Homo-oligomer: A and B are copies of this chain.
Amino acid sequence: MEKPATIKDIAKRLNISLSTVSRALRNASDVNPDTKKAVMALSEELNYQPNKLALSLRQKQTHTIGVIVPNLDYVLSLMVRGIDEVALEAGFTVMVCQSNESFGREILNTRRLLESLVDGFIISVSSESKSFDHFKKIQERNLPVVVFDRVTPHLTAPSVRIDNEEGGFVATEHLIEQGYRRIAVLAGPENLGVSNSRMDGYLNALKKHKIKKDPALIVHCDFNQDYAYFATLELLAMKKRPDAIFTISDRMAIGAMLAIKKKGLRMPEDIGLVGFNNEPVTSLVTPSISSVEMPSFELGKAAAKLFIETMHNKENMDLEEKILKPKLIVRESSQKLPIKK
């Protein structure tokens, strides 16, 4: 009961050859029903498990997917669970690596997973990454790559994401409908596609409602509660301060909220606030924060499904692009008008 049993053990005890055992265990063709039964029985008894290493070495497939994410916050860990779900179902194991939003770490993770001989990658890019050569190297090796959530035009690959522009649009339009007019946006790093798309949605909403864009109200800062806090303080210190803020993540919304409270302003009366991601915390703070919800779990599942598709017909790499819809959840922080019946 020490070492796991191998095919050889079975063959020896049954006095038959390795090949026969192998065939018996797999496809029944070309093997006597009796010997097959015997093999099955013994393999059961010895609790035989085929050695994955040997299998992988032989058929040059590890049935492992490398997943690279910038962090494991609420939404991303939900997405990873979605990926896991589908991957397991399809017989794949996933290896998750966090890049911690660091470019260097992302390269390191890529290399490590490549060394582990994963069959392909499902990636959400770090906010710090400006070059994508390390990912292109993967594709040069002909391994399937699927990008999810944080996509980038610089990487040509099938992708799954939500409609970020739409998300930014509904958030902003909601603020406008609530009567806010000087709406600021706290955006992420300038090179982050997700952030820019949400900002595009913001701009579209302004345009639709004929509100002039004010560059002073567009602030880029790090994806981080503290940065958002200080950025908001600066916004609130303006002569003509904004009367609403749309942040492209909830963590930033929290920072903004703290700054607003610090300044003694009330939400939604003095200032409106809408975040993005619909993390549970948004409903727990006072006032509760409106936020754009995304179907994270579904998004993860979709990414894994797309990966498996891509893997199965590499020839027909059509660069599929799957886009899910976000949904605004209105809470106290932006509900200025009485709720219409």
Binding site for B on A (CB under 8 A): 1-2, 4, 49, 51-54, 56-57, 62, 72, 77, 80-81, 84, 88, 93, 95-96, 98, 112, 114-117, 140-142, 254, 280-281, 284-286
Contact = CB atoms under 8 A, between A and B. Distances in A.
A252 to B, nearest CB: 13
Nearest to A71: B77
29 contacts: A1-B140, A2-B142, A4-B141, A49-B114, A51-B57, A51-B117, A52-B115, A52-B116, A52-B117, A53-B53, A53-B56, A53-B57, A53-B62, A54-B57, A57-B57, A72-B72, A72-B77, A81-B98, A84-B98, A88-B112, A93-B112, A96-B96, A254-B284, A281-B281, A281-B284, A284-B284, A284-B285, A285-B285, A286-B286
A101 to B, nearest CB: 13
Copies in the complex: 2
A142 B4 CA distance: 11
A198 to B, nearest CB: 23
Given A81-B98, A285-B286, A115 B49 contact: yes
Contacts of A141: 2, 4
Nearest to A80: B72
Nearest to A108: B88
Contacts of A49: 114-115
Nearest to A251: B280
The 4 lowest CB-CB distance pairs between A and B, nearest first, are: A286-B286, A53-B57, A72-B77, A281-B281
